[in-house]
Amino acid sequence: MYTVKLFAILAEQVGQAEVQLQLPTPITAGAVKAAMQAAFPQTSSVLADCLVAVNQTFIDQEEFAPSEVTELALIPPVSGG
């Protein structure tokens, strides 16, 4: 099980600032979003627009071994400024 941090609307939809998800190896952005969607289907429409961050860096198509991952987060569309 991996801890995945949630923020903003995503955290509100789930009612938690982080969730535990089962993830396949290697870990990819697609795998994180798919696991989130399966566990919390109410986040589905927001998830479509989310990015994934591994170790506080946005990832795109990269693959990660479990040993490389110390922090996972789902990032809803940002709106600072």
Partner 1 sequence: MVKVRENAVHYVAIAAQPLDVQALYEKLKAPQFGGIVTFVGTVRQWTADVETHAIEYTAYTEMALKELTKLATTIEAQGANVVIVHRVGHLALTDEAVFVGVAAAHRGDAFKWCEYLINAVKQQVPIWKKEFDTDKIRWGGLE
Footprint on this chain of partner 1 (rule: CB under 8 A): 5, 7-9, 46, 49, 53, 56-58, 73, 75-81
Q: How far is the CB of 79 from partner 1 (least distance, A)?
A: 3
Give whichever of 10 and 24 is closer to partner 1, judged by the CB atom: 10
Do 22 and 1 contact (CB within 8 A), yes or no? yes
Instruction: Kindly report whether the peptide bond that precedes residue 26 is cis, defined as omega within 30 degrees of 0.
Output: yes
Rounded CA-CA distance 59/4 in Å is 14
Give whichever of 27 and 74 is closer to partner 1, judged by the CB atom: 74
Q: How far is the CB of 6 from partner 1 (least distance, A)?
A: 10
Convert 3-27 to b/e letters by CB count within 10 Å (16 or more is b): ebbbbeebbebbeeeebebebeeeb
Q: How far is the CB of 51 from partner 1 (least distance, A)?
A: 9
Give whichever of 24 and 78 is closer to partner 1, judged by the CB atom: 78
